[in-house]
Amino acid sequence: MRCGYSILEVLGASTTINFGRVFGDGTGTLISQEGQTLLFETDLPTTSLCVLECSIEVTIQLQCFPPYLAIDHNAHLSVRGKLDAQTVYVEKGGTLEFFKTTQCIQLTEANKFFFTDLTLKKGASFIVADGLTISGGIFEVKRDVTVRMEYFNISTSQLIVEQGAVLDVSGQGPIDPGHASAGNAQTRGGGGHGGPGVWERQ
């Protein structure tokens, strides 16, 4: 299915729609309706990633099999409902956006989201609503990426901010770095591990 400069809205409540692949140039939008589940299942055995190349607005639930998701150039994944994607790569120009209603399928608690591995590559954007808690294994900010987060919590076993990258956390977001590479990593205005605005390299 290809989406380009268009909006595709899947009709029919309480239905499950299975997509082998969604691709395009990032200008199209796929919108789900209340009660629907969108399944993205790669149909090639050699493919280990579900690659989104069009913009998608998820209002209820999106699941990926395998649960490895890449948000490609200029694609915008807007999650207002539930998402099951344990390993996520946001490519250059891609955007991952969470709202206050975003939930993780694996967790029953509201306002909490789990990743095994979240990687933001150069030119990527990660937008998170106030009050969400992001937890998981590895949170990696690649070289020359700037990430700004306000009023939410990070709990991760390994936080990697490469040289030349900036992680700017303001408000009340506590950070547990675990591991951070040598480089120009920054937190400002609160939420630094070890005290407000403090970054500790381990």
| pLDDT values of the chain reduced to their tens digit, one per residue, 202 residues | 444 556 666 676 666 776 666 555 556 666 666 666 666 655 544 445 666 666 677 666 666 655 677 787 777 888 877 787 778 888 888 888 888 778 777 777 767 777 888 888 888 888 887 777 777 777 888 877 767 666 566 667 777 777 777 776 655 444 444 434 333 344 433 333 333 333 333 3
Q: 86, 21, 14: which is closest to 56 by C-alpha? A: 21
Our count of domains for the chain comes to: 1
Give the chain's largest Cα–Cα span. Answer: 51
Instruction: Tell whether 124 is covered by a domain.
Output: yes
Tally Cβ neighbours within 10 Å of residue 24.
22
Q: State the pLDDT at residue 192.
A: 37
Q: State the pLDDT at residue 5.
A: 56
Instruction: Tell whether 188 is covered by a domain.
Output: no
Instruction: Tell whether 151 is covered by a domain.
Output: no
* Residue ranges making up the domain that contains 47: 2-129
Alpha-carbon distance of 100 to 141, in angstroms, equals: 23
Instruction: Tell whether 82 is covered by a domain.
Output: yes
Q: State the pLDDT at residue 113.
A: 77
Alpha-carbon distance of 92 to 71, in angstroms, equals: 9
Instruction: Tell whether 165 is covered by a domain.
Output: no
**CA 174 to mean position of chain CA atoms:** 19
Q: State the pLDDT at residue 25.
A: 59
Paired with 91 in beta bridges are none
Instruction: Tell whether 152 is covered by a domain.
Output: no
Instruction: Tell whether 185 is covered by a domain.
Output: no
Q: 35, 91, 85: which is closest to 60 by C-alpha? A: 35
Stretch (H or E) spanning 136: strand 133-141
Contacts of 191 (CB under 8 A, 6+ apart): 154, 169, 170, 171, 172, 173, 174, 175, 197
Instruction: Tell whether 58 is covered by a domain.
Output: yes
